[in-house]
Amino acid sequence: MHPIFLVLRREFLIRIRKKSFWVLTFVGPILFAALMIVPSLLMMVSIDTKKILVLDESGLFTNALKDKDKITFDFSTGKAVEEVKKNFTKEGYDALLFIPKMTVEKTENPLLYSENSLGFTAEEEIVNNLENEIKDRRLHSAGIDPKKLESLEPHFSLGTKEISETGDAEKDKNTAAATAAGYAGGFMIYMFIFLYGAMVMRGVVEEKTNRIVEIIVSSVKPFHLMMGKVLGISAVALLQLVMWVVFSFGLSTAGAAAVGFFMPQEKMTAMTSIPKTNDVQLNKTIEEQSKKSDPNNVLSEVTKAIDTINLPLIIGGFLFYFIGGYLLYAGIFAAIGSAVDTEVDAQQLMGPVSIPLVLGFILSQMVIQNPDSGLGIALSLFPLTSPITMVMRLPFGVPVWELVTSMVILVAFFVGSIWLSGRIFRVGILLYGKKPTWKKMLVWVFSKN
């Protein structure tokens, strides 16, 4: 068996036999699934109702503030605000809403007194109540029925189509789905390159520090050792990625089903119920909005959104750039690990190499807003940033020439970086006690011995 495959098998087996590998493999999907399920579960948890005492000196809002699901209003009259402030907590209220004297035409800002914060949502609900009441009064003063006005407001949902260059063919397009798919793929590549690239570097430093590498290189060439380590750890990364995807999908599906099964029927009814009014047109508008929030319709919309993106291309592109980007950076990190004796020195040399990766991820947040920009094309072709940027652009559609050129450049740069890293690796792996610099490492590249 070729020495590279021997080292690959050794690196692979060593890591998958560690308890930490299996802990991370199972805990990762659980955390991911929890991020998706916990918000739904929190909706099932009863939140304490906030009782608010209202002192309205304007007289505009008396009995006009309507109780909501978790907010109730009581009105106080005939007392000064200073007196009410001293006693409202003793009477069991969470807050005091003081509304100063004002008119419909000229309003003043109210004040909310409380010992503990009510939270942004509750405060926003109070403000909306006050604003809606003033708005309705102003409309009535102008002879306009607020309900009739609301029924006249148009509601549009923008449909997008992607057409061919000739304009003969067209297909559905969903920008939100493309953005989500691109960002998820780019983030996963960014995270795994740092996680497993650093693992390669630490593994080389550890073996060099323990002098194990001296025994290994006596029977294996340094280049074969480096390639075996890089490929072995990349196999571990790919295996863990696949297991994460499978477990995350299974846990998310099971969790969503459990939420639907255990959620009380009355809460489900409350979430999907349609309030009725005396206005036929308004009822129709409310019903249309309600259908959009129905769980079955939401699932249908998600399915339609997924159908608008080219999944085979995205998955294939993700796997190529995931493996290519990882191998590129892992080779560089392995060279850094071979040149140092401690992880502290490795971190110092790792900084400049990591800058393109970090910069590519940051700039990709701008590229995803304008995928066909000059910046997006440049970052997609530059091999140190293309693994992230191109994956983020793929769901939006990328010209074939850009994709092929980017892949060729990435492969060529990977082969070149492996050669350069191998030259550094063969010298640095057996050097101890010397703190390397980038200048020394460049000398090692062109040295004949």
Kindly state whether residues 64 and 194 are assigned to the same domain.
no
Q: What is the pLDDT of residue 262?
A: 54
Q: Assess whether pLDDT exceeds 60 at residue 11.
A: yes
DSSP helix/strand/coil, 186: helix
438 and 312 in a common domain: yes
Instruction: State yes or no: pLDDT of 293 exceeds 70.
Output: no
Tell me phi and psi for residue 397, to 5 degrees. 95, 120
Residue 262 and residue 328 in one domain? yes
Give the CATH number for residue 130. 3.40.190.10
Give the mean pLDDT of 393-405.
87
Helices 374-381 and 400-428 cross at an angle (nearest 10°) of 40
Domain boundary among 122, 144, 166: 144
Q: Is 182 found in the same domain as 247? A: yes
Within-domain flag for 79: yes
Task: Assess if residue 338 is contained within a domain.
Answer: yes
Residue 89 lies inside a defined structural domain of this protein: yes
Confidence of residue 38 (pLDDT cuts 50, 70, 90): low
Contact residues for 334 (Cβ-Cβ < 8 A; gap 6+): 200, 201, 204, 226, 229, 230, 421, 425
pTM given for the model: 0.63
How confident is the model over 341-376, as pLDDT tens digits?
Answer: 777 777 777 778 888 888 888 888 788 888 888 888
Rounded mean pLDDT of the chain?
75
Domain that includes residue 89, residue range: 50-144
Out of 186-190, 263-267, 306-310, give the one with best mean pLDDT: 186-190
Is residue 97 one of the residues assigned to a domain?
yes
Q: Span 13-20, mean pLDDT?
A: 83
Between residues 133 and 287, the one the model is more confident about:
133
Most confident residue range from 167-171, 175-179, 318-322: 318-322
Q: Is 305 inside any structural domain?
A: yes
Exposed, middle or buried: residue 280 (CB in 10 Å: 0-12, 13-18, 19+)?
A: exposed
Locus of tokens 């009064």 = 137
Asked, for residue 436, whether it belongs to a domain, the answer is: yes
Q: What is the pLDDT of residue 123?
A: 83
- Other beta carbons within 10 angstroms of residue 289's beta carbon come to 11
Look at residue 281 and tell me if it is in a domain.
yes
pLDDT of residue 158: 64
Question: Do 247 and 135 lie in a common domain?
Answer: no
378 and 238 in one domain? yes
The number of folded domains in the chain is 2
Contact assessment for residue 75 and residue 56, using Cβ atoms and an 8 Å cutoff: yes
| Domain end call among 125, 144, 163 | 144
Q: Which two tokens stand for residue 215?
A: 């025994």
Q: In this structure, are 196 and 98 located in the same domain?
A: no
Q: Is residue 182 part of a domain?
A: yes
* Together in a domain, 134 and 266: no
Q: Using CA atoms, how far apart are residues 411 and 404, in angstroms rounded to an integer?
A: 11
Helix residue ranges, H only, 293-399: 295-307, 311-339, 343-367, 374-381, 386-393
Residues 181 and 100 in one domain: no
48 has pLDDT over 50: yes
**How far is C-alpha 439 from the chain's CA centre?**
39
Determine phi and psi for 278, rounding to 5 degrees.
-85, -5
Which range is least confidently modeled, 93-107, 203-217, 233-247? 203-217
Are residues 188 and 238 both part of a single domain?
A: yes
pLDDT tens-place string over residues 55-107: 888 888 877 777 776 788 888 877 788 888 888 888 888 888 888 888 888 88
Does one domain contain both 9 and 61? no
Q: What is the pLDDT of residues 412-440, one digit of tens each?
A: 888 887 777 777 776 766 666 666 766 77
